[in-house]
Structure 1
Amino acid sequence: MATLTDRLDLLLGDATAAVLADQFELRTAGDLLRHYPRRYLRAGSLMAPEDLASGTHVTIAARVVEADIRPIRRDPRRKLLRAVLDDGRNRLGVTFFSPHKVRHHIAVGRRGLFSGQLGTFNGRLTLTHPDYLLLPESAQARAGDGALLAPGQRVQGGGSLARMAEALQDSGDGLSAADLDRALLPIYPASAKAQTWTIMRCVRQVLDQLEPVADPVPQDIVARYGHVSLDAALRGIHRPSSEGEAAAARGRLRFDEAASMQLMLARRRAEDQRGKAPAGARRTGAAVDAFTARLPFELTEGQQQVLAEVRRDLEGAVPMRRLLQGEVGSGKTVIAVLAMLQAVDAAHQCAMLAPTEVLAVQHARSIRQLLGPLARAGQLDGAEDGTRVTLLTGSMPTAERRRALLEIASGEAGIVVGTHALLEDAVTFFDLGLVVVDEQHRFGVHQRDRLHGKARAGFAPHLLVMTATPIPRTVALTQFGDLDTSTLRELPRGRSPIRTSVVSMPDNPRWVKRAWERIVEEVADGRQAYIVCARIGDPSSEPASGSVSTPGSESTPGSESTPGAAPPEPARGAGGADADKAPQPDANAAVDVYDKLVQGALSRVSVGLLHGRMPSAEKDAVMRRFSEGDIDVLVSTTVVEVGVDVPNATVMVILDAERFGVSQLHQLRGRVGRGQAPGLCILISGRPAGAPSSARLESVAATADGFELARLDLQLRHEGDVVGTAQSGRTSGLRLLSVLEDEDVILDAREFAADMVQRDPELTRHPGLAEMVSTVEGTERGEFLFRA
């Protein structure tokens, strides 16, 4: 008898095991049985009239009930074979134009698999010259028809299924025609070296040897949620006798996948809650009240609700672990400032971690402007209850860095804003009470823990992580199940609408010219604009071929971008590289576009350039000049994606928009329309209007609902990105569970995990569950969840 941990080479032989390991990293019986069928061939189920249409590719299991050779009407010298298939529920006509090749195979009474594209003939669905695999009938089955097949009847095939038929002739491989003569035939993820029938045979051999599988989930839990046992699920998903058995197996295995993640997150949450946080009770009449009084606007109802949740957490001795998500421009920064001031009023320090230097500088500047005298403690014009806002980045001059480190270590700086430089060993806080992480997807648990370790001994700081990329509820429960979630959906009053248009450069080069003209018009009205490019470019290089057309330039309109030219700076979101297959030249580079525009279409306005390779002082100077209105148009890369707040900017042009993901496009356009004037975002695509990427761009243009776009983004990216495997190419272990579609399963698993960890925090009494958690922690999925 075999167990799930037994090696495949001992069960299947060295040669077969080596192929499975090489092709799919399957090394144990458990690995193989977790290589689930991707679908089943069901007799008749694919022939339901309401599901089929001409042009659909189908594979059906059916019996030949009519077969005869007849001449072609238009050319009687030529003949064809017409047959009728019956699956027990429907009949389908089949035509073969080479009857001499198939007449000995396609005979009345034969049963098999037929695969091809549906067409119509005389108003009826039909298959023309399908691939086929015909099965020899068992003696028992044929006896009912009054005849027996001759002994040694061979499996016969044609087209793409001929190779499968040839493989079945070798009776020594452990697979027989009886394995295919099933109501539900499993079809596996396969390769040329390990085809589906090979995997089918291996699975059957392992299941024949497998002893009953012990269930890691307590029986009362299995019964509570109406699931079958793990043993029944593993056998039922590979060799189901009915659709109900297959569905029950998938339901149990989905639950296990969700439970393994939720158990890991629940244990992490429980560990966090065992820590002691520096309590931050709100002080009446201190900095929080002074700041609230000087705000030039009223908080929205959503902001007030979220602020109440954050304040309640900060007052407790249990470390806050809260995710604050909200639409672009929904006012998350104000919530963060109020939270930090509450900690400052309680004599604690705050650290705000930003992913880029541009964003860190912008945050420091914005917070100082919002606080006014409250940010100038110790200065003549500083408020009595104020504090000091200190910036720390990796590229600061030595003298500035030394001064910042001293302010942090002495406690003089109540609010510290910085990049990854805050994580360095040299940074010592006097009394760290709150950590705010902006754009949390750019950081991970290990990096957050580095800041946690900078609190006073015996204490864990409160944590508030923020994202401007809305997250569907099920994804939040899957990725951030260790965090409480607060959501801001409404925009502050007075925020202007943003209109989005899509322009295909190959189809409408004149519209590109009109985009530049619109920018000039906006500048003439006292407004500003962004032009965003997918890559930086090299100042010493020649302009990219097919680059954006500007008056006076010799470039050819109709740029297309190439999937291989990924942006040097992080590009988040699905479809960052276009899925279109045609060859593409390089994307427009910021350096090249800047040079062309200042000499051409935008020669009469002030144009600035901003990208990630510029020295920090130069980036800061450009951003400051743009914020103050000295620069009319900013040509940049995605460094302006988040956190940049210039209310006077009303137009954004995104070049090679097909290179960006849905969420990233939504983030970028959120930089305009932040003032009183309406915003305009122009998505210029290097692809024709009918290209696959066009639908994605039109979706962005059709709605400003970030939550709807976030769901679309994840649908386009598929589940791999949700658990962090899409870029690595490694397996996630997430095989059946859909974090977008299986909300009920995730909620059941979350409830189960919370209850189980409360009763058995270390899972010492449930070693099977502990093994499930350790298995997840050892995969890319687990690594991603610890980074997320």
Structure 2
Amino acid sequence: MNILSQDIMYLPGVGPNKKDVLNKELGVRTWGDLLEYYPYKYVDRSRIYAIHELQSDMPFVQIRGKILSFEEFEMSARKKRVVAHFSDGRGVVDLVWFSGAQYIYKTYKVGEDYIVFGRPTVYGGRFQFSHPEIERASELQLSEMGMQPYYITTEQMKKRNISSRAVEKMVKAMLQKIAEPIPETLPDFIVNARHLVSRDTALRCVHYPKNAIEMQKARERLKFEELFYVQLNILRYASDHRRKYRGYVFSQVGDDFHRFYSENLRFELTGAQKRVVHEIRDDMRSGRQMNRLLQGDVGSGKTLVALMTMLIALGNGYQACIMAPTEILAEQHFATIQEFLRGLDIRVELLTGQVKGKRRQEVLDALIAGEVKILVGTHAVLEDPVRFQRLGVAVIDEQHRFGVAQRARLWAKGENPPHILVMTATPIPRTLAMTIYGDLDVSIIDELPPGRKPVQTIHKYDSQMTSLYAGIRQQIRLGRQVYIVYPLITESEKSDLKNLEEGYAALCDIFPEFKISKVHGKMKSKEKDAEMQKFVSGETQILVATTVIEVGVNVPNASVMVILDSQRFGLSQLHQLRGRVGRGADQSYCILVTTYKLSAETSKRIDIMCETNDGFRIAEADLKLRGPGDLEGTQQSGIAFDLKIADIARDGQIMAIAREEAQKIIDADPTCTSPEYAMLWRRLRELRDTNVNWAAIS
């Protein structure tokens, strides 16, 4: 039996109780799992400082000496502060504990030789270490320690005395028991070409590096391996898909496309739109099924490109559909497409949860008869009763709201899977797109239509509301409209909703001369749509809302977006909200209102928003600040990673190299059967059988 697959319970010092905690908190069930529970930081333990060398701005350091005496101070009726006076013979520091007096007296003795490790601070003119790590000097081989690893631990682990130090001791005990070299998982031709250390060296050194260079090499090897197998899996899936599924060949663009382009399109396409239409056109006549991701900021003209894509399908005798994540957005697409196609004999229908009974049946019957050429809808389009006569193209708007499984359900709607165009207004950094959408080709609309002025973003504090209200009044008198957004965050939904209601009432008092609508997620769809419609038609001048407006409404006359408590939003969400204005020819403004108390990270977010309108720069910054799991401010399906050591935001270069190597393997062995690559396919199968979230990754 492979020693790495042994139950963690049988590792000395673990046993059944600690096993349960490690299982539940970390998903560690075997020795191999523990080996892949990597340190998150290291501290150099090779040097001992003299007490007279200490400085208050030092990070963690260690000193050696003896406890001279203990002293106790009453903090409250039930709490004591224990202080040990500690000396290295040339100076004295205090070791301080605010709890655990009995344990301290039982464990540490006056006159014994100890090594103390912690962060020095100054209190009452003397250096002190609060709750330091203390080891008997005789038990600590400093020459062997080098860089001490630190492991993330949870509250439950700490309650069961499983500290970072305890995890370190478990790993040390395990590595001592693994006498044989740990089996390799990458072939020599990759290891040698990329100058990587062996897996055995990497796994031993990542836990116990002697120096920073050794640690760096170990981490680089493990990151490469992790990203290589993620990419190999994605590329294998994409290659498989292309071989299995032939695409419909759309050899012509057809009359509908030509008539629309020459008669209905009243403005010139941007260079970026033309480029993307050509890329889509090439896919659709290639004979392989199109799977393309279309990225572009709000207002860049993605819907028009999607419509032209659908018209190509119509020109070849097929139907098309476009799916949106919300009813409001579906209705807006429906209205936009109808307006674009005015005067052309093309039947477009809407299918959402609101379309019921007889009307719904009429749409379904006309769809299967081939009379409906373009269907606009929500995920209701995926339901079994929805059948097309010949579905040739499916457009999915805001992909992160649709899981991979839902995308796959569209394939069952025709003899062959339809061509798929996925649209998103959330700019996705290249490294993330390579991982989330690795099976999709990427097109980018990186140009706004002519005449659009960039939105000006201004940061104001909540003490400056009077001048803000004056600015709002001035804009409305110029004939513009204004959004005022309150945060609505699940954890405190009730209090936030109250804030919105109170805010709405206060704004009605502040602006008695204007009409105000309000919209939030707790309203019934009909009520919400009616309020939204009042704003769209210009009947109301101010729309007080929560983030329900983040995806959807297009009101060219709205020129001001005020986001209250902006510190509570993520960068991508702020950028999405800002995209609701600046859709007309007037200069538009986005006002970010915050409290004075801002963390360094929040200040950075606000600064980035004020500096740039470039969605890709914002997305890169968001990825670095927040990590991939929370790109939208909410955990979205399709953006979940089970990466143990690699970091999507910071390891883009390693990702690109790993993808390049994985592509070479797929090109050389597309059917995954060559004995030369058997090790890779075996390892990929093992990984797919673990708890790695491959479905989310690919």
Q: TM-score, normalised by structure 2?
A: 0.85
Q: Distance in 2 between matches of 1:203 and 1:636?
A: 52
Out of 404, 420, 425, the residue aligned to residue 463 of structure 1 is: 420
SS at match of 1:565: helix
| Structure 2 residue 199 is matched with structure 1 residue 209 | no
Deviations 1:618-650 (A, max 9, x none): 444444443332332222232321232211111
Q: Compared with structure 1, are the counterparts of its residues 235 and 725 closer, same or farther at alpha carbon in structure 2 (3 Å cutoff)?
A: farther
Equivalent residues in 2 for 1:76-475, closer than 5 Å: 95-96=92-93, 112-117=115-120, 128-130=127-129, 159-162=131-134, 176-178=139-141, 181-190=144-153, 191-192=157-158, 193-210=161-178, 211-274=180-243, 275-283=245-253, 285-291=255-261, 293-374=263-344, 377=345, 387-455=346-414, 457=415, 459-475=416-432
Match of 1:382 in 2: none
Q: Compared with structure 1, are the counterparts of its residues 304 and 350 closer, same or farther at alpha carbon in structure 2 (3 Å cutoff)?
A: same
Aligned identity (percent) is 35
Instruction: Quote how far apart the aligned CAs of 1:389 are.
Output: 1.6
Conserved in 1, the CA contact under 8 Å of 2:325 and 2:398? yes
| Structure 2 residue 563 is matched with structure 1 residue 654 | yes
Conserved in 2, the CA contact under 8 Å of 1:17 and 1:27? yes
Q: Distance in 2 between matches of 1:257 and 1:5?
A: 19
| Structure 2 residue 452 is matched with structure 1 residue 525 | no
| Structure 2 residue 491 is matched with structure 1 residue 564 | yes
SS at match of 2:627: helix
Match of 2:75 in 1: none
| Structure 2 residue 596 is matched with structure 1 residue 688 | yes
Out of 16, 28, 43, the residue aligned to residue 41 of structure 1 is: 43
| Structure 2 residue 620 is matched with structure 1 residue 711 | yes
Match of 2:451 in 1: 494
Instruction: Quote how far apart the aligned CAs of 1:298 are.
Output: 1.6
Equivalent residues in 2 for 1:618-633, closer than 5 Å: 618-633=527-542
Q: Compared with structure 1, are the counterparts of its residues 179 and 209 closer, same or farther at alpha carbon in structure 2 (3 Å cutoff)?
A: farther
SS at match of 1:4: helix
Q: Distance in 1 between matches of 2:266 and 2:617?
A: 31
Instruction: Quote how far apart the aligned CAs of 1:750 are.
Output: 1.0
SS at match of 1:129: strand
Q: Distance in 1 between matches of 2:470 and 2:48?
A: 55
Aligned AA for 1:526?
A: G
Q: Distance in 1 between matches of 2:181 and 2:456?
A: 61
Q: Compared with structure 1, are the counterparts of its residues 426 and 717 closer, same or farther at alpha carbon in structure 2 (3 Å cutoff)?
A: same
Q: Compared with structure 1, are the counterparts of its residues 55 and 398 closer, same or farther at alpha carbon in structure 2 (3 Å cutoff)?
A: farther
Q: Distance in 1 between matches of 2:168 and 2:556?
A: 62
Instruction: Quote how far apart the aligned CAs of 1:422 are.
Output: 0.4
Q: Distance in 2 between matches of 1:418 and 1:119?
A: 65
Q: Distance in 2 between matches of 1:690 and 1:357?
A: 36
Aligned AA for 1:635?
A: V
Q: Distance in 2 between matches of 1:302 and 1:314?
A: 19
Out of 675, 699, 702, the residue aligned to residue 584 of structure 2 is: 675
SS at match of 2:334: helix
Equivalent residues in 2 for 1:759-774, closer than 5 Å: 759-761=668-670, 763-764=672-673, 765=675, 766=678, 768-772=680-684
Aligned AA for 2:393?
A: L
Higher helix content, 1 or 2: 2
Q: Compared with structure 1, are the counterparts of its residues 341 and 469 closer, same or farther at alpha carbon in structure 2 (3 Å cutoff)?
A: same
Q: Compared with structure 1, are the counterparts of its residues 770 and 299 closer, same or farther at alpha carbon in structure 2 (3 Å cutoff)?
A: farther
Conserved in 2, the CA contact under 8 Å of 1:533 and 1:588? no
Gap runs ≥5 in structure 2:
70-84, 97-104
Q: Compared with structure 1, are the counterparts of its residues 623 and 237 closer, same or farther at alpha carbon in structure 2 (3 Å cutoff)?
A: same
Aligned AA for 1:424?
A: E
Match of 1:733 in 2: 642
Match of 1:784 in 2: 696
SS at match of 1:30: helix
Instruction: Quote how far apart the aligned CAs of 1:10 are.
Output: 2.9
Instruction: Quote how far apart the aligned CAs of 1:35 are.
Output: 1.0
Conserved in 2, the CA contact under 8 Å of 1:276 and 1:318? yes
Deviations 1:547-599 (A, max 9, x none): xxxxxxxxxxxxxxx883149xxxxxxxxxxxxxxxxx64655444434433x
Conserved in 1, the CA contact under 8 Å of 2:54 and 2:120? no
Q: Compared with structure 1, are the counterparts of its residues 657 and 98 closer, same or farther at alpha carbon in structure 2 (3 Å cutoff)?
A: closer
Q: Compared with structure 1, are the counterparts of its residues 250 and 723 closer, same or farther at alpha carbon in structure 2 (3 Å cutoff)?
A: farther
Match of 2:100 in 1: none
Conserved in 2, the CA contact under 8 Å of 1:723 and 1:732? no
Q: Distance in 1 between matches of 2:496 and 2:532?
A: 27
Instruction: Quote how far apart the aligned CAs of 1:445 are.
Output: 1.0
Q: Distance in 2 between matches of 1:408 and 1:467?
A: 27
Match of 2:102 in 1: none
SS at match of 2:589: strand
Instruction: Quote how far apart the aligned CAs of 1:221 are.
Output: 1.4
Conserved in 1, the CA contact under 8 Å of 2:573 and 2:633? no
Q: Distance in 2 between matches of 1:726 and 1:430?
A: 36
Conserved in 1, the CA contact under 8 Å of 2:404 and 2:695? no
Match of 1:152 in 2: none
Instruction: Quote how far apart the aligned CAs of 1:182 are.
Output: 2.1
SS at match of 2:438: coil
Instruction: Quote how far apart the aligned CAs of 1:287 are.
Output: 2.3
Q: Compared with structure 1, are the counterparts of its residues 402 and 726 closer, same or farther at alpha carbon in structure 2 (3 Å cutoff)?
A: closer
Conserved in 2, the CA contact under 8 Å of 1:288 and 1:341? no
Instruction: Quote how far apart the aligned CAs of 1:690 are.
Output: 4.1
Q: Compared with structure 1, are the counterparts of its residues 619 and 200 closer, same or farther at alpha carbon in structure 2 (3 Å cutoff)?
A: closer
Q: Compared with structure 1, are the counterparts of its residues 94 and 745 closer, same or farther at alpha carbon in structure 2 (3 Å cutoff)?
A: farther
Q: Compared with structure 1, are the counterparts of its residues 279 and 95 closer, same or farther at alpha carbon in structure 2 (3 Å cutoff)?
A: farther
Aligned AA for 2:128?
A: H
Q: TM-score, normalised by structure 1?
A: 0.76
Q: Distance in 1 between matches of 2:632 and 2:449?
A: 33
Q: Compared with structure 1, are the counterparts of its residues 754 and 398 closer, same or farther at alpha carbon in structure 2 (3 Å cutoff)?
A: same
Conserved in 2, the CA contact under 8 Å of 1:60 and 1:114? yes
